[in-house]
Amino acid sequence: MMSDQLTSVDRRIRKSKAALKEALLTLMRTKDFKKISITDIVQLADLNRGTFYKHYQYKEELLEEIIDDVMKNLTESYRAPYEEIGNFDVSKLTASAIKIFQHVATYASFYTLLGRSNSLTGFQTRICDELTQLLFQDLSQSHAPLNSDINPKMLASYQAYAIWGMIIEWIDSEFHYTSDYMAEQLLVIVQRNP
């Protein structure tokens, strides 16, 4: 009985937070973040101010939680192919294993805002930094020998910004292609230039 009550409360919290996050992102499409009030957010989310303050002190906390959610999911999506392959080998990677573009599609409204909002100006760098760290870890743990002339940190940065370039192109095309198509393209590019 107690477990059912906790599950019900958790579900309500998740739904309230999701509504607040979606409301903020929707408002940011047409308004500068600085001009968005908590009242604007709760009205669009169809919640009261008390619900907002139960979870956040400021709208900046809400935005930061959205960014944290995106970053956490980005890392999980990047790591997804490694879960199925014990010893990672690019030649054995399949397009269906690449989940990073599904991540971008899931957070499409957020990524679309990247180019339009002054509040998200440092986020592109944060994404590339995260991708660089993940790629550098992969290179450091890889069993494949790396050419001694190649600086692993430089290679990781190069690859991160290349992936980010594909994401930007996809956003600019207003997600014209499917996430599966984008994964296939990344796979073809990586396998062509190992």
Q: What is the pLDDT of residues 41-54, one digit of tens each?
A: 999 999 999 999 99
**Entry pTM:** 0.78
Is residue 104 within 8 Å of 111, Cβ to Cβ? yes
Is residue 55 over pLDDT 70?
A: yes
Picking from 103, 83, 104, 105, the residue whose alpha carbon sits closest to that of residue 94 is 83
Is residue 21 over pLDDT 80?
A: yes
Question: What's CA 163's distance to the chain center, in Å?
Answer: 13
Pick the CATH number of 65-194 from 3.30.9, 2.60.40, 1.10.3470, 1.10.357: 1.10.357
- Boundaries of every domain in the chain: 1-57, 65-194
DSSP H or E stretch at residue 7: helix 2-28
What fold characterizes domain 1-57?
Arc Repressor Mutant, subunit A (1.10.10)
